[in-house]
Structure 1
Amino acid sequence: MRIPISLSCADQWCWRGDVRGVYTVKQGYRLQMEGVMNEPFQFTAWRVLWQTKLPPTILNFVWRCGRDVLPTRMALAGRGINVDPLCPLCHSFQETPLHLFKLCSHTCRLWDAISDLPMVCPGDSFAAWLSKVIEGRKEVVVRECLALCWSIWKCRNDLLWSNKTWEPGEVVRRSNALLVEWSMVQTASGITLNDSAVHAVAPTTDNGITIHVDAAVFPNREEGFVSAVVHASDGRFLAARNSPVRSLRDPVLAEAMAIKEALSWAKDCGWQVVAIYSDCQVVCNLLKDTSPSYSYSGCVVSDCIALKRYFVDVSFHFVSRSSNTLAHALARATASRTGSRTWFFAIPDCIQRFLLVN
């Protein structure tokens, strides 16, 4: 049986797909979305969309457009709701997102002010066209496009629910006001936002050691490879170690096992004050999380926490990959060797060039 070894954990049920083995709504949603049939023309610009600095309301609106769940009249009729499927603006064609935002005679001329927009190709859905805009155009064009779409939708709703007259000028005014508002918010916040991942600063480890760990997994190999690079509190290189582990091609499991192997090694060496550095944010979060964890990774993390009792002090820190080059290079080099290897004071050949640079 292909089961990672963790003798301290009894067999139990867990939810596959979640790093803690616990069901969450997020994981359930992802599983459900994986079962949806892939259509020929679909929204594909998710990664770019979530990186766009726009209000959550607008991002949610684009998400609805991309998932084709915007409550247009045709969408409501398709769900069995007794509603006239014709466009409330022109009353000539069925109201789909593509018709409402791009093809309707009351909205198509509004796009003339925005340059460098892609053409609507035969067979395109609105989601497919919007994907082309977000993925292939400059951010200023994307903002103009989304502001206009949102303004069309809001004015369309005012017509339906508040009996307001459809005025193209009001759509343009709202769109321009949104662009000004977004620009002012970005200017006030300094437009250059800090990365959400905060890298750890080396703590003071007087009379202690720091251990940088990493893991490497490969799609064609069932085993993974872990490494640990040890430095004294004054920055001197002390030791290094690498070894293969059974990780079932799971990178999170491999990263957790890298920390466990480093702690076991530190215990055997008699090091009492240890600071562990890993570039795996998920495992670092698991080590700080007190919630139940039933996954393979969670079992290994539990072993890591249990090992802390053998030390005077153990701390875990997240660092960026660029700050973990030694352990990263050593882990990947393990794939070309057999068995484990340990270096004391002698620096492994595969990381010497990084030490010289640093």
Structure 2
Amino acid sequence: MGPHCLYWKIIWRLKILPIIRVFACRVGHEIMPTNMKVGFNRPNVNPMCQRCGAAKETLIYAIKECPSTRATLTYGWLDDRLISFDFEHYIDWLEADMRLLDKKAMEDLITLHWNSWNNKNNFTFHGKEAAEIILGRAITISNDFRIHSLNNNPMLPLHPAM
């Protein structure tokens, strides 16, 4: 079970592509190859973010806090409640989002994160990125991107039952 058992139950129930579900599991366990992780095993690798160079590239920094990723998230009309809080781990951030979003919005958000991660890799290996392209891909994959729609019931209650 553990502290994040609801996250794992919900991830496997989402209607997303299998590759995106595997991505969600890998980021939930924080086993993605960020510069910090690679630099820990290979000291000659620079742990700083290759896109902005402003901070060490942890998983939460790469997906949420890097200025180029933040541009994608804000370009996607994300509500400020979803991106303004500071979290140390990605899974904590997604659990907070699950308390605000419905199932379809979570599917769209995780798809956007997957596209954002692919964009990071494209920048690393090919030197190109664009927020509009990332969002366009997420819209195409999810059909009707509606992260900002908070009208439906959230996946988790706002206040956990004791």
Please report the TM-score for the alignment, with normalisation by the length of structure 1: 0.36
Query: In the aligned structure 2, how far is the partner of 1:53 from the partner of 1:42?
Result: 20
CA contact (8 A) 1:43 1:128 kept: no
Aligned length: 143
The ranges of structure 1 where at least 4 consecutive aligned residues each deviate by more than 4 angstroms after the TM superposition are 41-44
Which residue of 2 is the match for residue 55 of structure 1? Answer: 17
> Structure 2 stretches of 5 or more lacking a match?
146-162
Query: In the aligned structure 2, how far is the partner of 1:90 from the partner of 1:101?
Result: 13
Query: In the aligned structure 2, how far is the partner of 1:83 from the partner of 1:168?
Result: 26
Alignment of 1:58-207 (within 5 A): 58-80=20-42, 82-112=44-74, 113-115=77-79, 117-134=81-98, 136-161=100-125, 163-180=126-143
> Structure 1 stretches of 5 or more lacking a match?
1-33, 183-358
Alpha-carbon distance change, 104 to 71 in structure 1, aligned in 2, over 3 angstroms: same
SS at match of 1:152: helix
CA contact (8 A) 2:15 2:107 kept: no
Query: In the aligned structure 2, how far is the partner of 1:88 from the partner of 1:172?
Result: 21
Deviation of 1:65 after TM superposition, in Å, equals 0.6
Q: Which has the higher helix share?
A: 2
Alpha-carbon distance change, 122 to 115 in structure 1, aligned in 2, over 3 angstroms: closer
Query: In the aligned structure 2, how far is the partner of 1:69 from the partner of 1:96?
Result: 11
The amino acid across from 1:145 in the alignment is L
Which residue of 2 is the match for residue 204 of structure 1? Answer: none
Alpha-carbon distance change, 54 to 122 in structure 1, aligned in 2, over 3 angstroms: closer
The amino acid across from 1:138 in the alignment is D
Identity %: 20
Q: Which has the higher strand share?
A: 1
More relative contact order, 1 or 2 (CA 8 Å, 6+ apart) = 2
SS at match of 1:54: coil
Query: In the aligned structure 1, how far is the partner of 2:55 from the partner of 2:67?
Result: 10
